[in-house]
């Protein structure tokens, strides 16, 4: 496996962890509100109250490198790598 492949897998794992940090939350308690354009660093550090938790450094890097792409009227958020 090349370093490039490992980097891609880490990126995918981080996206999965970010998704899990919002999974199971009701719209009223979700830190990511409709129309948001950025992920919430606090929610990423809290994670899913299990193993999917970002360190403070990794949460800051993820927020700096990813945007939220939201579709109005749909309760689904997609991330887009800023790179």
Question: For 10-64, how does the pLDDT look when each residue is reduced to its tens digit (9 = 90+)?
Answer: 888 888 888 877 765 555 555 555 556 667 788 888 887 777 889 999 999 988 8
Number of H helices, E strands in the chain: 3, 2
- Report the distance separating Cα 60 and Cα 9, nearest Å: 19
Q: CA angle, corner 64, sides to 49 and 28, nearest 5?
A: 45
List the structure tokens of 24.
């199971």
Question: Does the predicted model carry a pTM greater than 0.75?
Answer: no
Q: What is the DSSP letter of 75?
A: S
- Domain-wise residue ranges, the chain: 3-81
């Amino acid at each position: 496996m090349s370093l490039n492949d490992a980097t891609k897998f880490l990126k995918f794992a981080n996206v999965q962890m970010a998704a899990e940090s919002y999974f199971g939350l009701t719209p009223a308690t979700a830190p990511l509100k409709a129309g948001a354009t950025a992920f919430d660093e606090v929610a990423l550090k809290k994670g899913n109250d299990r193993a999917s938790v970002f360190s403070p450094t990794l949460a800051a890097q993820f927020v700096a490198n990813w945007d939220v792409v939201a579709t109005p009227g749909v309760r689904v958020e997609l991330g887009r790598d800023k790179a």
